[in-house]
Amino acid sequence: MTRVAIIGAGQTPFGVRPDATLKGLFAAAVEAAVGDVQRGLDPQEIEEAHIGSLATGGSQLGNFGPLMAESAGLTGAAAQRVENACASSGFAFRDAVMAVASGRVRFALAGGIEKMSDLPRARNRGWLGVSGDVEWERLAGTNFPGIYAMIARRHMYEHGTTRGQIAGVAVKNRRHAVANPKAQLRKPLGLEDALAAPMLAEPLGFCDACGITDGASAVILCRWDDARALTDKPVEVVGSGAGSDVVALHDRAVYTRLDAVRQAARQAYAGAEVGPADIDVAEVHDCFTIAELLAYADLGFCSEAEAGRLVDGGETHLGGRLPVNVSGGLIAKGHPIGATGTGQISELVHQLRGTVAETERQVPGARYGLAHNVGGSGGSAAVHILKAPA
């Protein structure tokens, strides 16, 4: 297999963008990624475009990929939409990696886009619910806040995790987002305020969930042998894994782990020939605060019982042993569903290059970065490991 490099990465600011359109957002993300290629790249050289999107609201389902590619000037690329719930662009990125690694193409783009704020809240909730088991979970009246609340309650029961440890994830990620100009929520949050927030689904409050977000992201990949002609700092994709599990929570033997993530992580670590202890910075899928704690154990950073203590002890804070979600994560940076996976990759590319513009967010000397993107409540997952330029 051919070694794969990332030579350009970009994303729009995430947030509620009533002035923006699907086409405009995606075009802006691609423009940023192309502009990030140090010595320039003609967009017409990009042979394939893999674009993740849930297409919230169904405003554009048919020919979604070609339409987005057209909006970004990628008329020479074979374009497709990739849909795997919240993991859509994580899987789109994997498709692009495989296309380049196989030797089939020289240049590929992976990206994602979601425009969520155009729908009323009730319709948004309904649309998001289709990422669960529609036949059983939806008809029983459950939604994702309720499902993750059940996971949180079980985690507290089995592993002694406290409400304060769960809310501590939101406090940490909101603190990280303060310095990120692309983040949706940039005001710090105190633990007392997080715990006092209105209840969403007990034990999770409003601060424990990501919000409605618009945004787009894109990364450009090429063969390793071509990368040095275009940039002095190519970031290598050394590991890529994907996994699936049963979609409905009630069909799982264990509620407090995501087996799709564990499957994807095993593949990614094996491909990269590294282990959890080698990861220096991670962007994980914290759609709800409890999801970040699940990720710590599922990715091998600690046991399930130790997850809450990683936050308490500051280990996953900036300056800690393993900084997690220094972008602010989904909780604070935002979660425009289809854009999240490649948004994580974009953040890690700049971390590993040492080129984060806001120096207070830069993780110094990071060599390996991990991106973890989950679909729904764990029905699908993609894990990628990136290596810093030598």
Residue 125 · residue 28 · CB < 8 Å = no
The token duo for 267 is 């593949």
Q: Edge-to-edge strand order for the sheet containing 4-11?
A: 78-82, 48-52, 107-115, 214-223, 4-11, 235-244, 380-387, 368-375, 281-283
Catalogue the long-range contacts made by 351-354 (C-beta closer than 8 Å, 24 or more residues apart). Answer: 351/281, 351/326, 352/235, 352/281, 352/386, 352/387, 352/388, 352/389, 353/233, 353/235, 353/388, 353/389, 354/388
Residue 276 · residue 282 · CB < 8 Å = no
Cβ neighbors of 110 (< 8 A, separation 6 or more) are 49, 50, 51, 52, 89, 92, 93, 95, 96, 97, 218, 219, 221, 342, 345
Residue 363 · residue 351 · CB < 8 Å = yes
The token duo for 287 is 């759609």
Active site residue 335: yes
Residue 58 · residue 51 · CB < 8 Å = no
Beta partners for residue 282, in sequence order: 324, 370
Helix (H) or strand (E) holding 5: strand 4-11
Catalytic pick from 50, 86, 155, 384?
Answer: 86
Closest by CA to 314, choosing from 207, 168, 152, is 168
Task: Tell me how far apart the alpha carbons of residues 291 and 264 are, in angstroms, rounded to a whole number.
Answer: 16
Cβ neighbors of 177 (< 8 A, separation 6 or more) are 183, 184, 185, 186, 327, 328, 329, 332, 333
Residue 320 · residue 314 · CB < 8 Å = yes
Catalytic pick from 50, 176, 317, 335?
Answer: 335
DSSP letter, residue 215: E
Active site residue 155: no
Residue 371 · residue 295 · CB < 8 Å = no
CA angle centred on 274, ends 369 and 106, rounded to 5°:
65
Q: Which residues are catalytic?
A: 86, 335
